[in-house]
Amino acid sequence: MSFREKLAHAVERNGSLLCVGLDPDPARISGDAADFLCAVVEATSDLVCAYKPNLAFYEQMGEPGYAALRAVLQAIPDDIPVIADAKRGDVGHTAQAYARALFDELGFDAVTVNPYLGGDAVAPFVERADRGVFVVCRTSNPGARDLQDLAVTGEGGPRPLYEVVAELAKEWNSRGNVGLVTGATYPEELRRLRELCPEMLLLLPGIGSQKGDLSAAVRAGLDVDGAGIIVNASRSVLYASAGADFAQAARAEAQALRDAIEEHRQAARAEVRA
Contact positions toward its own copies, by CB under 8 A? 23, 54, 56-57, 59-63, 66, 85, 87-92, 94-95, 97-98, 100-102, 104-106, 114-123, 136, 139-148, 150-153, 158, 161, 164-165, 168
Query: Shortest approach of its own copies to residue 241 CB, angstroms?
Result: 20
* Nearest residue (CB) to its own copies, 123 versus 256: 123
Number of other CB atoms surrounding residue 101 within 10 Å: 16
Select which of 6, 52, 87, 170 is catalytic: 87
Q: Where are the alpha helices (DSSP H) in the chain?
A: 3-14, 33-44, 55-59, 63-75, 92-99, 119-126, 144-147, 161-172, 187-196, 214-221, 235-238, 246-273
* Nearest residue (CB) to its own copies, 8 versus 61: 61
Which one-letter DSSP state was computed for residue 246?
H
* Nearest residue (CB) to its own copies, 102 versus 178: 102
Q: CA-based angle 238:217:202, to the nearest 5?
A: 80
Query: Shortest approach of its own copies to residue 45 CB, angstroms?
Result: 24
* Nearest residue (CB) to its own copies, 43 versus 165: 165
Query: Shortest approach of its own copies to residue 213 CB, angstroms?
Result: 18
**How deeply is 42 buried, as exposed, middle or buried, from its count of CB atoms within 10 A (0-12, 13-18, 19+)?**
middle
Q: How many angstroms from the chain centroid is the CA of residue 248?
A: 23
Query: Shortest approach of its own copies to residue 29 CB, angstroms?
Result: 13
* Nearest residue (CB) to its own copies, 212 versus 228: 212
Number of other CB atoms surrounding residue 73 within 10 Å: 17
The verdict on whether 170 is a catalytic residue reads no
**How deeply is 63 buried, as exposed, middle or buried, from its count of CB atoms within 10 A (0-12, 13-18, 19+)?**
exposed
- Give, in order, the Cα–Cα distances in Å from 173 to each of 41, 69, 180, 215, 260: 31, 29, 11, 29, 31
Per the DSSP assignment, residues forming a β-bridge with 182 are 138
Query: Shortest approach of its own copies to residue 207 CB, angstroms?
Result: 14
Point out the residues that are catalytic.
Answer: 87
